[in-house]
A = this chain, B = another copy of it.
Amino acid sequence: MPLQMQADELLGFLEEVFPQVAGDFAIDRLEDMKIDLRLKVAERHLRPGSTVSGPSMFALADCAVYMIVLAMIGRQALAVTTNCSIDFMRKPEADRDLIASCRLLKLGRVLAVGDVLIRSEGAATPVARASLTYSIPPRA
């Protein structure tokens, strides 16, 4: 199945529907059922102790699955997260971007499931792991 949207188009769409956060993200890699999404870590993502906040990592994982679903099925801005399970395993480094490596494990008619490993850029071990389910609205 070919990608329905390319990286530039995805980021443009994100800018349109989620203008508050679109600038936080960059696409490092995009291919069939897979995306690497970067969180450009800035002051507002940090917590005391110089680490990236949990909600920022949640947002990164959530956005990665959203974007690969979108890339596969096209502009369905109404796809919504129904479930997320996330494990925080190590403390991210505050002065490095985070990279979410996401693969879509299922892309069904009504549900999509993706999993995500988040790493500090350049690090081998993951700081967090997440899996998310998206509900896909019926096509008009």
A binding-site residues for B, Cβ under 8 Å: 17-18, 20, 44, 47-48, 53-56, 58-59, 62, 80-90, 105-106, 108, 110-111, 113, 115, 117, 125-126, 129, 131, 133, 135
Contacts and interface: CB of A to CB of B under 8 A. Distances in A.
B84 A105 contact: no
Contacts of A53: 59
A87 B82 CA distance: 6
B84 A113 contact: no
Contacts of A56: 55
Contacts of A113: 87, 89, 129
B48 A58 contact: no
Contacts of A55: 55-56, 58-59, 62
Contacts of A85: 83-86, 131
A132 B55 CA distance: 13
Contact of A106 (B59, B90, B131): B90
Contacts of A110: 110, 135
A17 to B, nearest CB: 5
Nearest to A59: B55
Contacts of A129: 105, 113, 115, 131
13 contacts: A17-B48, A18-B47, A20-B44, A54-B58, A80-B88, A84-B84, A85-B86, A85-B131, A89-B106, A89-B108, A105-B126, A106-B126, A115-B115
